[in-house]
A and B are shown apart, each in its own frame.
Chain A
Amino acid sequence: MAHAYTPGLRVTRQAEITKERILPLKGEVLVKVGDAVTADTIVAKTELPGNVRIVNVMGMLGCEASEVPEMMVKQPGDKVAKDEIFAEAEPLLPFLKFMSPKVKSPIDGTVEKASEITGQVILREPPQPVVVKAYIDGEIIDVIPDEGVVVKTTATFIQGIFGVGGETNGVIAIAVDGPGEELKPEHIKPEHKGKIVVGGSYVNIETINKGIDVGVAGIISAGMGDQDLRELLGYDLGVAITGHEDLGLSIVTTEGFGRIEMAHRTFALLKEREGLQASISGATQIRAGVIRPEIIIPLTGDLLAAEDEIRVAAKDGVKSGNPVRIIREPNFGKLGKVKRLIPELMTMESETKVRVMEVTLQDGTDFIVPRANVEIIED
């Protein structure tokens, strides 16, 4: 067997990145093909139907369901103000109208339906505007009518392994000296407000809270702790579906949970891009339709490499000589190079029989590891 298929995350110096920016439901696209956009440019907008209130008019007026449409002072489609009467029972005698039961609207909105089957009236609040931003600096290369656009940029692209918080952007600021250093509260300075702060091996809850207080846009770290994550979210994250949290900042971890040195290449690349505008997203979804957190640093002018350096990670599988990271105990987080792929099944300490590879770790020791427990790191 010449190679094995192993998952790997993209860490790419320069790549062409396209992003679909789509509305949750049909609306209006505000830009056209060829337009240059920044991350904050609104590219499409729409209105979500407002919330609904259901009023039991039949019960309140003491009539039959079939009589409700006749009792309506306001008809479906009519606007109605809070406390405005929208339904009224017919008095026995016209001069007793002032005594007849009436129904007032609990909201500002529109009458949507008066049901003759259920005797209920549906009122809808005004629509809520929704906008979609470009998310990255780039150019519009396609417009999907009524739905959204495709934005393209050439950028440094780094995939994280796990994150929280949605899309944000800011200038990259390196706050630690090296990939093995923990990002501590004292590293976060007032000048980091609105920036993407890059740490090293670990970030704890105190540092994250300091970041929120200062107004940091995002934090990039190799690892974090699950107990801190629980404290940050206020609940135990059961299934890895994130991105919707409103935390005040977004976090992208590049290696996983626990204290782990950031891959040198990732750290060096971020350091090289210090001072540049980046777009990041913490959104992670590990089931079907996988979404990994990401860091996109658009490149322009002199920063664009003369030659096309676009690479696709691990498409051909892992081979001897490939740099890899061990992603499970023992030696979790350690880096090394594949020495050889062993075709025979081998028995591990757990007595699990698996296909393995031999990896030479950075300290020179050779280590036999299940193939499933390594991750390719892009060269």
Chain B
Amino acid sequence: MFKKNDPDLKVILATDCGSTTTKAILIEKIGDEYRQTYRGEAPTTVEAPFEDVTKGVLNSINEIEDLSGRTFLDGETIIHPYNPDSNTGCDIYISTSSAGGGLQMMVAGVVKEMTAESAERAALGAGAIVMDVLAVNDKRLPHERIERIRVLRPDMILLAGGTDGGDVSKVVEMGEQITAADPKPRLGISYQLPIIFAGNVKARDEIIKTMGDTFSLTICSNIRPTLEHENPWEARGKIQDLFEEHVMAQAPGYNKLIEWCSAPIMPTPAAVGLIIRTIAQMEGINVIGVDIGGATTDVFSYFMVEGEGLFNRSVSANLGMSYSVSNVMAEAGMDNVMRWASFDIEEEDLRNRIKNKMIRPTTIPHLLSELIIEQGLAREALRLAFQQHKELATGLKGVQQQRDIADAFNQESSGATLIKMMQLDLLVGSGGVLSHAPRRSQAMMMMIDAFQPEGTTRMAVDSIFMMPHLGVLTEVHDKAATEVFSKDCIIYTGTCFAPSGAMRPGEKAISYVLELETGEILEGEMNFGEIKLIPYGLNDEGLPLRGTATINPARSLDMGEGRGRQTKTEIYGGVVGIVIDCRGRPIKFAKEQQARVKQVESWTQAFDAYPPLKGGV
């Protein structure tokens, strides 16, 4: 058995059982450092005829065996420990999982914008999908709320409400309504629905009296003990414990998987969140990370606010690239999806193709036109998910703010979003559509189009989708996780310079001087509406080439120092390069169809994003 951070650890097998595919990676100690060497992938096998999540795990490891020419399996058993003589087996096996449909929760509080919102953030932070947020002021009548609870059948309910020592009756009223609804768990009828109470401490006795007999009630500390303070930690921990016990265990074969693993299986979003937070803290920067999966899209952010690092996660439960792809189309609309493509397609044909992807989620685009459509859908899924994230990652609402004379003109209210694009340092993308885009420039372009970063932003992608694996690895071996992360996982694509604001297309937007580490000095001007890619890569050690940029925006544009003010900033090269994006924020499309097609073509050509479209649509 290996201890945490054991220096003798040589071979690590890790899998992520996603809702669509199971991804296995092999990590080996080569000389003194840990490197990721092989990767295998197979459909997740919750579907008949397999109905056993471990089959997908074995299939993905099987692929690693094929590619490496080594043996890791003895029948349906993973060989432990690594045998250096025969070069077989591994020292440890670890896994993350989002199979099982995730944790579906309802949350309730007293005031929608305060305790209910705090409860929502706590549930999301724990990796849950929030099906509905109930509050006394949610503009629904009590019987409507009760009906809703009964219909949705959540896996768990988090009830918050009241600051400590404050009013008791309103949170008890919410407890009474949940009890009256008497919801039954989604999975299995023989166990009591778990309810976590994280509200006013003074209401505990009444809540126990009201709900204790009907539910499996867990009491924890108040999520919002005062208006000015949010305390989600204990509630998050309780949610994750109950997630392990009640939900993941429902995925077929999961109990076997637990036995195989050398460390507890971590929910995929929790593992990715851990990695994003680690990057931000290590480098002392503001980071946004996104993981776009088959069923859901998770957005993570870490922003320094008044000296404190605030981490937020949002999950858009029905925005994804396979199971949920049809919902992306429904939410975004066909026009928004197809505005990114330079060709037309009949609506009926497009709708049928998207539905076929939904019902057969593991298929991959063979034709270039199908890839372009999928990447258009990805942009819209990312855009919508980010919009939801911004609405959730806010300061606490209802907090009285002290303003001095300097703030007199700052009309920002409490509860404004914490996401300031101009202050974002690094944008990291993960998930199949980004990590496996045939050209890295496609991934960078999708992220710029969807997130529309402003000012100076470094961009990166997860090389082959291994952030979840490394997230769980940090719990077992810090050195291995950190080394593989910096050497094999994160691929810096480059830097995006993008002034915010708008002006007429064709007018001079910026002039720039780029002083590169190579000694080169590049000077130029760009007009509004243009986008340019300047290849600028990595040095001999594989690290981004550096440099300095001086950018003079036009009077109506801002590069970070204010409208029209010169901005000096750092350049980081990457596998794609430096992007200067003068399309303005938000990006505006030409209204006329032909002009739009020309516009999109010029953008994709600037990025060298696609080969010429030869075949049919």
Contact = CB atoms under 8 A, between A and B. Distances in A.
Interface of A: 1, 5, 7-8, 10, 22-26, 49, 51-54, 65, 112-113, 115, 117-120, 122, 124, 147, 159, 161-162, 225-227, 229, 236-240, 256-258, 284, 286-290, 292, 312-315, 327-330, 332, 343, 348-354, 369-370, 372-373, 375
A51 B147 CA distance: 7
Contacts of B330: 236-238
Given A54-B180, A288-B46, A352 B438 contact: yes
A52 B356 contact: no
Given A238-B326, A349-B615, A370-B364, A288 B142 contact: no
Contacts of B251: 288-289
A159 B438 contact: no
B59 interface: yes
Nearest to A115: B176
Nearest to A352: B438
Contacts of A113: 176, 180
A112 B99 CA distance: 40
Interface core residue of B168, B177, B318 (most chain A CB under 10 Å): B177
Contacts of A226: 348, 351-352, 354-355
B34 to A, nearest CB: 25
B318 A286 contact: no
Contact of B146 (A51, A256, A315): A51
B101 interface: yes
B70 interface: no
Contacts of A54: 142-143, 146, 176-177, 180
A352 B295 CA distance: 21
Interface core residue of A161, A237, A351 (most chain B CB under 10 Å): A351
Given A288-B100, A372-B362, A7 B347 contact: no
Interface stretch (B367-375, B504-512, B514-522, B583-591): B367-375
A256 B436 CA distance: 26
B438 A350 contact: yes
A251 to B, nearest CB: 13
What are the nearest 7 A-B pairs in CB distance? Answer: A238-B327, A288-B101, A351-B438, A226-B351, A350-B371, A236-B330, A257-B352
Contact of B356 (A258, A289, A343): A258
A239 B326 contact: yes
B362 A7 contact: yes
B524 interface: no
Contacts of B182: 49
A194 B181 CA distance: 37
B326 to A, nearest CB: 6
A352 B364 contact: yes
Interface size class of B (residues with CB under 8 A): 35 or more
B172 A118 contact: yes
Contacts of A52: 142-143, 146, 177, 180-181
Contact of B318 (A5, A7, A239): A239
Contact of B43 (A7, A24, A349): A7
Contact of A118 (B100, B169, B353, B357): B169
Contacts of A1: 66
B360 interface: yes
A351 B368 contact: yes
Given A8-B49, A117-B172, A257-B352, A372 B364 contact: yes
Given A117-B169, A238-B326, A288-B251, A329 B353 contact: yes
A292 B49 CA distance: 11
Nearest to B48: A290
Contact of B42 (A5, A118, A227, A229): A5
A353 B363 contact: no
30 contacts: A5-B55, A5-B59, A7-B43, A7-B360, A22-B189, A24-B189, A54-B143, A120-B176, A225-B352, A226-B351, A236-B330, A237-B330, A239-B323, A240-B323, A240-B359, A286-B361, A287-B19, A287-B295, A288-B19, A288-B100, A288-B251, A290-B48, A315-B50, A328-B357, A328-B360, A329-B366, A330-B615, A349-B368, A351-B371, A372-B363
A173 to B, nearest CB: 26
Contacts of A287: 19, 101, 295, 323
Contact of B143 (A49, A53, A239): A53
Contacts of B169: 65, 117-119
Interface in B162-187: 168-170, 172-173, 176-177, 180-182, 184
| Chain A, interface SS category | loop
A147 B367 CA distance: 50
Contacts of A257: 351-353, 355-356, 359
Contact of A289 (B101, B347, B348): B101
A240 B367 CA distance: 25
B611 interface: yes
Contacts of A10: 48-49
Given A7-B360, A258-B352, A332-B356, 13 more contacts: A5-B45, A24-B184, A25-B184, A52-B180, A52-B181, A54-B177, A113-B176, A238-B330, A239-B326, A257-B352, A258-B349, A287-B19, A352-B438
Nearest to B327: A238
A112 B324 CA distance: 41
B206 interface: yes
B59 A327 contact: no
Contacts of B78: none
Nearest to B295: A287
A124 B351 contact: no
A124 B181 CA distance: 10
B487 interface: no
Contacts of B176: 54, 113, 115, 118, 120, 122
A379 B365 CA distance: 27
Nearest to B348: A227
Nearest to A315: B49
A313 B358 CA distance: 22
Contacts of A312: 49
A212 B99 CA distance: 38
Nearest to A374: B363
B331 interface: yes
Contact of B371 (A8, A258, A352): A352
Nearest to B66: A1
A5 B360 CA distance: 14
Contacts of B365: 328, 348, 350, 352
Given A226-B355, A350-B367, A372-B363, A117 B168 contact: yes
B4 interface: no
Interface string B85-111: 000000000000001111000000000
A351 to B, nearest CB: 4
A25 B366 contact: no
Contacts of A258: 349, 352, 356
B229 interface: no
B184 A329 contact: no
A328 B359 contact: no
Given A5-B59, A65-B169, A351 B611 contact: yes
B420 interface: no
Interface in B409-456: 436, 438-439
Contact of A330 (B47, B50, B367): B367
B180 A328 contact: no
A229 B184 CA distance: 31
B474 interface: no
Interface core residue of A115, A122, A287, A369 (most chain B CB under 10 Å): A287
B374 to A, nearest CB: 9
A348 B368 CA distance: 9
Nearest to A112: B180
A105 B527 CA distance: 71
A201 B172 CA distance: 57
A227 B367 contact: no
A343 to B, nearest CB: 7
Contact of B47 (A53, A238, A290): A290
B143 A51 contact: yes
Contact of B49 (A22, A24, A313): A313
A330 to B, nearest CB: 6
